[in-house]
Amino acid sequence: MKNNFFNWARGVIQEVKQNPLVYFLLLIILAGALFVRVYRLDQLLGFYYDQGRDAMVIWKLWHDGKAFFIGPVTGLPGIFLGPAYYYLMAPFYKISGGSPMLPAIFLGVLSTSAVFMLYLLGWKMHSRTAGMLASVIGAFSYSLVLSSRWLSNPTPILLTSLLLVWSMWKIATGGSKWWWVIAAFLTGISLQFESSSGVFFIPIMIIFTVWQKKRLPNLPVVFLSLGAFGATLLPQILFNFRHGNILFQNFYRVIVEEESFRTSFWEVWNSRFNLYWNVAYSKILPRHNVFAAIFLLLAGGSLLIGRKALSKNPALSILLLFITVPVLGFLLFQGNNGNVWDYYLTGFYLPFVLLFTIGLGHLWRNKMGAVIVVIFLIVFLSSHFGYLRDYLIAGVDGPNHITLGNQMQAVEWVFEDSRGRDNFNVDVYVPPVIPHAYDYLFLWQATERCGDALCGMILDQQVPLLYTLYEVDPPHPERLEAWLARQEGIGMVKESIQFGGITVERRSRISDE
């Protein structure tokens, strides 16, 4: 084992020495990727319903010893993910004292690692050119950067999807039999992070296994592989049987009784086609769909023309498998009231980028193709750097702006204003109604400042001093108006202050007497 490690380390050092310019550029790309993923997270991090809910679950783990066997709910009612995301984030919430910043930075590091994997896969599957192009797109695509800055359970699948592709590549090129175990585990753990993507990893692996049947390992390794996959499902299975078979019943209801998968896909063809196209061009050239179509066709044409040369390489088949299965699968999926959102395809973003850049890498091999690739890079970088610049320098005081920056301003104002006053309550309005984000932010800040005393914030009974906090609700202003009307009958406004799209008021409760 020790000798293998030193041999590997010597190989890495030799590789870098032989290609210093490549790795200097790659280092710049990775540094840039990390920068755009973590810069100003304290101001621009989206911390809303899901983020507050998840943070509160992890808070209860550390403060109440409340372990859990399921994770976040999926888009299908009653169907829950496994707890892997919560346990992955839990150490970073603990180390940071409850701040969501460190978990968000960690996810930025994970997605930056995925950028490195894009280079590695592009290089090994095709060429250094394909690897560098893939890493540039992965690092600086505005849409992919936003996905990487999302403090939510789908984000880790950006990395695990590529690790699964790498495992399949190693198997298909005669690698160790233990890659089967790794591939099985990655399939299961990805299913815990994003079920809408992860569920299609299962048929992908089944088809891949049939294709690679000649490379199947011996029976003990097969059982280990099945065990590795089954182990990722064990927490949900335990939860299911501890709660009267609830998950299996919900799964049966959604899949069988509600007929979530149907063959009448022509009913959803238009909406699915629009989704696929929007996902594809937004990763390449958002708001330039004509140019995106041209470059996608050129890259696809390059792969088609070079199919004979590429047919000896299993990379193309693996990546096409990764693209084809979800495209067909989401045509058949018509549950969730027919809704399929962009993030449902998170697990396929980077395999798509890899396939696209292998096409560009093939173009690079002739002079005219190289000119096309250079033009693409110029258009790509000029477009995305503009979007990223505007996003990263944005203020938090716009009339409809709501991110962690002005949320914390509002929360901190309440604690500063209440200092020296009586105990107080907090009442919050947010769309869509449940204020998980503020429940967590107030609890975290009160505990950090005053421990169990919570700085006088009372959770279980009404007191005369009341702070009301509400966010703008442009889609449904009537809901906010109705909430404010009810508050008028509860307390009189003594002071009001606004932080972007958030208003905070100090009120005095109206006595019932």
Three-state secondary structure along 363-402?
HCCCHHHHHHHHHHHHHHHHHHHHHHHHHHCCCCCCCCCC
Query: CA-CA distance, 338 to 262, in Å (whole number)?
Result: 11
Question: pLDDT at residue 259 above 70?
Answer: no
| pLDDT for the residue 240 | 82
**pLDDT higher for 429 or 308?**
429
Question: pLDDT at residue 270 above 90?
Answer: no
Do residues 499 and 409 touch, judged by C-beta distance below 8 A?
A: yes
Containing domain of residue 444, as a range?
Answer: 404-509
DSSP state, 426?
Answer: E
Query: CA-CA distance, 220 to 198, in Å (whole number)?
Result: 25
Say yes or no: 189 and 102 in one domain: yes
Helices (H) then strands (E): counts for the chain: 22, 4
Residue 59 in any domain: the answer is no
Residue 505 in any domain: the answer is yes
pLDDT-wise least confident of 322-326, 340-344, 463-467, 481-485: 340-344
pLDDT-wise least confident of 72-76, 81-85, 149-153: 72-76
User: 224: buried, middle or exposed (CB in 10 Å: 19+, 13-18, 0-12)?
Assistant: middle
Which residue, of 371, 392, 413, is where some domain finishes? 392
Say yes or no: 313 and 448 in one domain: no
Residue 376 in any domain: the answer is yes
What are 33-60's pLDDT values in tens digits? 999 999 999 999 999 999 999 999 999 9
Confidence of residue 502 (pLDDT cuts 50, 70, 90): very high
Query: What HEC string does 142-199 produce?
Result: HHHHHHHCCCCCCCCHHHHHHHHHHHHHHHHCCCCCHHHHHHHHHHHHHHHHCHHHHH
pLDDT-wise least confident of 248-252, 324-328, 427-431: 248-252
Question: pLDDT at residue 113 above 70?
Answer: yes
Confidence of residue 246 (pLDDT cuts 50, 70, 90): confident
Which residue, of 392, 420, 455, is where some domain finishes? 392
| pLDDT for the residue 512 | 58
| pLDDT for the residue 488 | 93
333: which residues sit within 8 A by CB, 6+ positions away?
260, 261, 340
pLDDT-wise least confident of 7-21, 149-163, 352-366: 7-21
Question: pLDDT at residue 328 above 70?
Answer: yes
Confidence of residue 474 (pLDDT cuts 50, 70, 90): very high
Say yes or no: 321 and 432 in one domain: no
Residue 251 in any domain: the answer is yes
- The gap from C-alpha 241 to its chain's centroid, in whole angstroms, comes to 29
pLDDT-wise least confident of 247-256, 275-284, 339-348, 350-359: 247-256
What is the total count of domains within the chain? 2
Residue 338 in any domain: the answer is yes
Say yes or no: 376 and 482 in one domain: no
Say yes or no: 373 and 415 in one domain: no
Greatest C-alpha distance within the chain: 87
Q: Which of 209, 200, 207, 154 is nearest to 179 (CA)?
A: 209
| pLDDT for the residue 6 | 73
pLDDT-wise least confident of 261-270, 285-294, 303-312, 328-337: 261-270
pLDDT, mean over the chain: 91
**pLDDT higher for 444 or 268?**
444
User: Any idea which residue has 């998170």 for tokens?
Assistant: 346
Number of C-beta neighbours around residue 25 at 10 A? 15
Do residues 360 and 133 touch, judged by C-beta distance below 8 A?
A: yes
Question: pLDDT at residue 5 above 90?
Answer: no
| Mean of pLDDT values over 476-502 | 95
Integer CA distances (angstroms), 265 to 204, 276, 322, 327, 504, in order: 20, 14, 20, 11, 48
What are 355-373's pLDDT values in tens digits? 999 999 999 998 999 999 9
Say yes or no: 382 and 417 in one domain: no
Say yes or no: 374 and 434 in one domain: no
Considering the chain, what percentage of its residues have pLDDT values greater than 90?
Answer: 72
Residue 57 in any domain: the answer is no
| Mean of pLDDT values over 197-226 | 94
What are 128-147's pLDDT values in tens digits? 999 999 999 999 999 999 99
What are 432-448's pLDDT values in tens digits? 879 999 999 999 999 99
Say yes or no: 337 and 427 in one domain: no
Say yes or no: 245 and 271 in one domain: yes
Say yes or no: 378 and 479 in one domain: no
Query: CA-CA distance, 412 to 404, in Å (whole number)?
Result: 12
| pLDDT for the residue 201 | 95
Residue 220 in any domain: the answer is yes
Give the CB-side neighbour count of residue 279, counting CA atoms within 13 A: 24
454: which residues sit within 8 A by CB, 6+ positions away?
443, 446, 447
Say yes or no: 384 and 466 in one domain: no
